[in-house]
Amino acid sequence: TQLLEQSPQFLSIQEGENLTVYCNSSSVFSSLQWYRQEPGEGPVLLVTVVTGGEVKKLKRLTFQFGDARKDSSLHITAAQPGDTGLYLCAGGAYNDMRFGAGTRLTVKP
């Protein structure tokens, strides 16, 4: 079973600060995905990283896939209250998609 460990589990910061959250595994993944889940809603896909070393940007969010394809990071620049939510990483085949436990981010105004 491919396990995904996310850190930190909780993160509370002030608006305008930068932050990085991590997703690590001892297994190699052909791709990893990042989802954001807001309270009372299901997860929504943010990005998929496929190539080792790949960097993708989505406005103030920067996603990186490790060279060995065992880990990924999400960096948020100048966080805003609207970034508050649970950030989940996921990977695997369609019939065996595994998720990390997530990082719960709170951005205070």
Partner 1 sequence: ETGVTQTPRHLVMGMTNKKSLKCEQHLGHNAMYWYKQSAKKPLELMFVYNFKEQTENNSVPSRFSPECPNSSHLFLHLHTLQPEDSALYLCASSRAQPGQTNEKLFFGSGTQLSVL
- H or E element at residue 55: strand 55-58
- Interface residue with partner 1 among 31, 62, 64, 84 (CB under 8 A) is 31
Residue 42 makes contact with partner 1 by CB under 8 A? yes
- H or E element at residue 5: strand 5-7
Indicate the residue among 50 and 58 with the shorter CB distance to partner 1: 50
Q: Are strands 71-76 and 19-24 parallel, antiparallel or unpaired?
A: antiparallel
Site string for partner 1, 75-104 (x = CB under 8 A): -------------x-xxxxxxxxxxxxx--
CA dihedral 34, 68, 98, 41 (to 10 degrees): -10
Indicate the residue among 24 and 31 with the shorter CB distance to partner 1: 31
Residue 22 makes contact with partner 1 by CB under 8 A? no
Question: Minimum CB separation from partner 1 for residue 14, in Å?
Answer: 25
Indicate the residue among 66 and 102 with the shorter CB distance to partner 1: 102
Helix (H, G, I), strand (E, B) or coil at 83: helix
With beta carbons less than 8 A apart as the criterion, state whether 19 and 105 touch.
Answer: yes
